[in-house]
A = this chain, B = another copy of it.
Amino acid sequence: MEIIDGKKVAAEIKESIKVEVASLLDQGKKAPHLAAVLVGDDPASHTYVAGKEKACHEVGFISSVYKLPASTKEADLLKVVEFLNNDDEVDGFIVQVPLPKHINETKILEAISPSKDVDGFHPANLGRMVTGLPTFLPATPFGILKLLEYYKIETEGKHCVVLGRSNIVGTPMSLLMSRKAYPGNCTVTICHTKTQNVKEICLTADILIAAVGQPNYVTEDMVKEGAVVIDVGMHRIPDEFKKSGFHLTGDVDFEKVAPKCKAISPVPGGVGPMTIVALIMNTFKAYKKEVY
């Protein structure tokens, strides 16, 4: 059984980007620049954006954060988006979600120029993913592809079962795993809350991608001997023995499932660290104009 070590892969990718950026700077070129727009005081969002800033600094990117009050009007946020769309200094930017309830999230995300949409949430970029055109892939699916690639997981002709059909993980993941490419060329089954025989289906999976949002949902009786398991979940479980008062767990009952697996990604340290790196990779693509 092999541990899919997202922390290690993320560090290696960051190191190689860092080297490339340093060489660009040596040539007198400007550094890539990722901006983030943060509206309101959601603590998880602040933590996440701080993580992005840290990653930018590690690789030598310029990072800027536009912090706006929770009371910001939709029209004013649209003006900020418009400003960033037109700011030649900024290669890519994200508007951190969730946004305050009085702001129409879809409207904001659609206002972002697809050429700077490094989160890959703009319909134009999701559509380019559907048709196989160059695009910014959503961070989590992009990170998972990189993990499969790094560990040389065989995918062609395999049965990949995706648990969950969210717009940002399950659905794009199912598309990517079925496309004619590596990683890909899988027969893909997508399961969700309405699926009736999840256990049976999971047992036929050569590759199982769990993005259900329920701690320890995938148990050992659902996993075939020799399967590859990717755990996208991330849950805080109260834990009196931890200084923080909680420990992290995923959608997979790791302790019991791992022994059956050919390879498995743990939580924490699996998919999580890859997400921010995917954003960094997308920003670098935007900087190099590889998509648009």
Residues of A in contact with B (beta carbons under 8 Å apart): 106, 122-133, 156-157, 165, 167, 171-172, 174-175, 178-180, 185-192, 194-196, 201
User: Are A130 and B133 also in contact (CB < 8 A) when A178-B171, A192-B178 are?
Assistant: no
As for how many copies of this chain the complex holds, the number is 2
Q: Which residues of B contact A178 (CB under 8 A)?
A: 165, 171, 174, 190, 192
Closest B-chain residue to A171, C-beta based?
A: B130
Give A162 Cβ to nearest chain B Cβ, in Å.
10
Complex formed: what's the CA distance from A93 to B9 in Å?
A: 47
Cβ of B189 and Cβ of A187 under 8 Å apart?
A: yes
Cβ of A187 and Cβ of B179 under 8 Å apart?
A: no
Give A132 Cβ to nearest chain B Cβ, in Å.
7
Complex formed: what's the CA distance from A191 to B189 in Å?
A: 9
Secondary structure of the A side of the interface? mixed
User: Are A130 and B172 also in contact (CB < 8 A) when A165-B180, A187-B201 are?
Assistant: yes
Cβ of B130 and Cβ of A126 under 8 Å apart?
A: yes
When the two chains form the complex, which single residue of B122, B175, B187 contacts A175, counting CB atoms closer than 8 Å? B175
Q: Which residues of B contact A128 (CB under 8 A)?
A: 123, 127
When the two chains form the complex, which single residue of B124, B185, B189, B194 contacts A156, counting CB atoms closer than 8 Å? B194
When the two chains form the complex, which single residue of B125, B127, B156, B196 contacts A125, counting CB atoms closer than 8 Å? B127
Cβ of B125 and Cβ of A106 under 8 Å apart?
A: no
When the two chains form the complex, which single residue of B131, B172, B188, B195 contacts A167, counting CB atoms closer than 8 Å? B131
Cβ of A171 and Cβ of B167 under 8 Å apart?
A: no
Q: A123-B124, A123-B126, A171-B178 are in contact. List 10 more A-B contacts (CB 8 A).
A: A123-B125, A123-B127, A123-B131, A124-B127, A130-B167, A165-B180, A174-B174, A175-B175, A187-B196, A187-B201
